[in-house]
Amino acid sequence: MNTNLPKLKIGWFYPKYLNLYGDRGNVEILVARAKLRNIPVEVIEIDLDTKLDAAFFKEINLVFMGGGPDLDQQKIYLDFLENKGNHLMEFLNNFGVGLFICGSYQLLGKYYKDAYEKILEGLGFLDFYTESPSSSEKTKSKSRMIGNIIVEVNSLLLNEPVFRSHNKLGNTFVGFENHGGRTYLSKDLIPLGLTKKNQGNNDLDLTEGVFYKNTFGTYLHGPLLARNPHFADYLIAKSIKIESLPHSAELEKFDTSVIVSAHEKSKKLKR
């Protein structure tokens, strides 16, 4: 057992506001799976009154930000863009690990246009945009995108050495989506994967989420990491830079049969 692994230090953005459909469970899973390996772990909650600077992000090795209802997203919007966004972009551009779910994923893009055609500028970190169908467009085919979802993971992630060494579940992620906005990636961006069931980013191109450096955006709730232990372990391993540690090619194994069973059974869930 390796007892000298670096600390996993998680920066959790706006936990009071962005915790839709159990997204806080993603942090709980990361903490639990780290502790099972005797990896020191610390969670730092980043809220409206938290002062951030570049030095702060040198102490963080994983950022998490969940989704939230429109009202709560509006509460954090200005603070995120004006006070914290530039420091976060620097962290992510320097290959810091980040996981962003639903509403926070949308904020990484260029803009979000709501159903009343009001446009909210995004962080502009990645070249995509999100639009909701207008009230006049809302038909059965343009309703909210809701349901259990299966995603075939992008081959670039599947073949990434650290992911490959921690992946014992094949080529899928499973989760639950519930969103009105349609996200459209530029041709230069890589999706997290392609949907095998339900819709993902939008109702046109089968893409789901985004994958850039060590930044992951996705519409998968669930919470995502509770149902995808291979992804959870990958995020931990990348955050502590396990590939650069002596004699630490991968995280220590433990019995995950219950979680693996939940993952497999999720593939059989109906809408």
Pairing of strands 182-185, 128-131: antiparallel
β-bridge partners, 101: 218
CA atoms within 13 A on the CB side of 245: 18
Query: Tokens at residue 235, please?
Result: 């995020």
- What is the rounded distance in angstroms from the CA atom of residue 173 to the CA atom of residue 138? 29
Of 102, 179, 230, 263, catalytic: 102
Active site (annotated) includes residue 102: yes
Query: Tokens at residue 137, please?
Result: 């467009």
Q: Which residues lie closer than 8 Å to 256 by C-beta, 6 or more apart?
A: 168, 229
Q: Say how many C-beta atoms besides its own lie within 10 A of residue 35's C-beta.
A: 12
Of 166, 221, 230, 263, catalytic: 221
CB 179 within 8 A of CB 145: yes
β-bridge partners, 148: 176
Among residues 22, 24, 7, 30, the alpha carbon closest in space to that of 232 is found at: 30
- What is the rounded distance in angstroms from the CA atom of residue 271 to the CA atom of residue 253? 33
- What is the rounded distance in angstroms from the CA atom of residue 131 to the CA atom of residue 141? 15
Active site (annotated) includes residue 221: yes
Positions marked active-site? 102, 221
